Amino acid sequence: MGYGIDNLPYASVIGADGRRFAAVRYGDQVLDLGLVDPGLFADGSLDGFLAAGPPTWGRVRAATAALLGSDALQLVPVDDVTPVLGFTVSDYVDFYACEHHAANAGRIFRPAGDPLPPSWKHLPIGYHGRSGSVVASGSAVRRPSGVLGPGRFGPSVRLDFEAELAFVVGVPGSRIPVDAADEHVFGVCLLNDWSARDIQGFESVPLGPFLGKSFATSISPWITPVAALAGVRIPARQDPSPVEPLRDDRVRHGLHIDLEVRINGQPVSRPPFAQMYWTYAQMLAHLTSNGAAVRTGDVFASGTVSGAEPGQRGCLLELTWNGTEPLHLDDGSTREWLHDGDEVVITATAGDITLGEVSGEIIPG
């Protein structure tokens, strides 16, 4: 299972002959989308397809499924291709939509105060990240350097991952009502928002994270279409109910998706996306509520996904409680933060569907 007929995620891939083409994954093979619609995928990217909107998304998905049902196909083993980013990233926004994560961060950094910032339950807090630093799963992540304190510049010694789900915008729009989200959002993928906690901690007042995040953001090149997630939609509820443009109680925009984070092959966390507070429809409605337009290729991410239990926390900041409670790995080593050579892999399942993993290995700065 995992990559059956109900999934069919999209990417661009590089074939053994060096040719780049748009592809759908089916089981352990990929289908060249040029066989489905030669014109739409002529440039080997998903850009035109993403912009085309739901009718085209539906038509291509149906035609792909029909073609895969025939027996005359020339499929390519997935191991014979290299998936790459299939679309041009326009703007990248990262939200902070998980209450468990935000509250844990509050308890760590503001132990005397309210765990949640004053606005947290009134709007999905977010910020713009660096679109030029978005890289495909498998890219090595060089340990960043930065200003760690007054007079101190050097490699980060508090390097972290953040397990997130990202949403890829197909159809441009502005002031998008929550109920119209699926007319604009094409699909989802896993994202690792690598974070240098020392750089971030020193720089972030008052304008937020900047170089502590901007060195690399890894995403899976495989985009699972929203259409594949019908079976895992769940209600999401906010208390108190937010202002009208952010109310989302008519369509099920919660998603029952289970993430897993492994460090060097060992599972260290199982974050449940079902426990997220704000929905992707609310994030998109908020993002565009001031009149800002989204473009084809915009990516917005959920922020760290963490559950209520300690083993469900989606970053080392929470898992090690800011480095004070080291994680014990099976090889006898411990981790407050990531070491050079560590490989972090985030996987996820949405019912019977597997999302494309996002992986990255830390290399020395």
Question: Distance between CA atoms of 172 and 88, rounded to whole angstroms?
Answer: 14
- Under the criterion CB under 8 A, does residue 142 sit at the interface with its own copies? yes
Question: Distance between CA atoms of 285 and 115, rounded to whole angstroms?
Answer: 25
- Per CB under 8 A, the list member of 4, 14, 115, 131 interacting with its own copies is 131
CB of 61 to its own copies, least distance (A): 27
Catalytic residue among 101, 184, 253, 286: 101
Question: Distance between CA atoms of 150 and 356, rounded to whole angstroms?
Answer: 41
Q: Is the dihedral of CA 317, 319, 321, 324 positive or negative?
A: negative
SS3 (DSSP) at 160: strand
- Under the criterion CB under 8 A, does residue 162 sit at the interface with its own copies? no
How is 167-207 classified by DSSP, letter by letter? EEE-S-EES--GGGGGGTEEEEEEEE--EEHHHHHHH-TTT
Q: Which stretch binds its own copies (CB under 8 A): 36-44, 150-158, 327-335, 346-354?
A: 150-158
* Structure-token pair, residue 99: 């209450």
- Nearest CB to its own copies, comparing residues 47 and 258: 47
Question: Distance between CA atoms of 117 and 126, rounded to whole angstroms?
Answer: 12
Buried residues in 194-206 as b, exposed as e (16+ CB within 10 A): bbbbbbbbbbbee
- Under the criterion CB under 8 A, does residue 96 sit at the interface with its own copies? yes
* Structure-token pair, residue 50: 């993403």
- Under the criterion CB under 8 A, does residue 146 sit at the interface with its own copies? yes
- Nearest CB to its own copies, comparing residues 148 and 346: 148
- Contact pattern from residue 243 through residue 272 relative to its own copies, giving x for each residue in contact according to CB under 8 A and a dash for the rest: xxxx--------------------------
- Per CB under 8 A, the list member of 69, 118, 332, 364 interacting with its own copies is 118
- Per CB under 8 A, the list member of 44, 86, 126, 272 interacting with its own copies is 126
Question: Distance between CA atoms of 326 and 333, rounded to whole angstroms?
Answer: 10
Question: Distance between CA atoms of 281 and 183, rounded to whole angstroms?
Answer: 11
Residue 145 burial (C-beta neighbours within 10 Å; 0-12, 13-18, 19+): middle
Q: Which stretch binds its own copies (CB under 8 A): 10-18, 46-54, 112-120, 321-329?
A: 112-120
- Nearest CB to its own copies, comparing residues 127 and 321: 127
328 is catalytic: no
- Under the criterion CB under 8 A, does residue 363 sit at the interface with its own copies? no
- Which residues are catalytically annotated? 101
Where on the chain is the footprint of its own copies (CB under 8 A)? 90-91, 93, 96, 105, 109, 117-119, 122-123, 125-133, 142, 144-147, 149-153, 196, 199, 202-212, 214-216, 240, 243-246, 286-287, 289-295, 298, 365
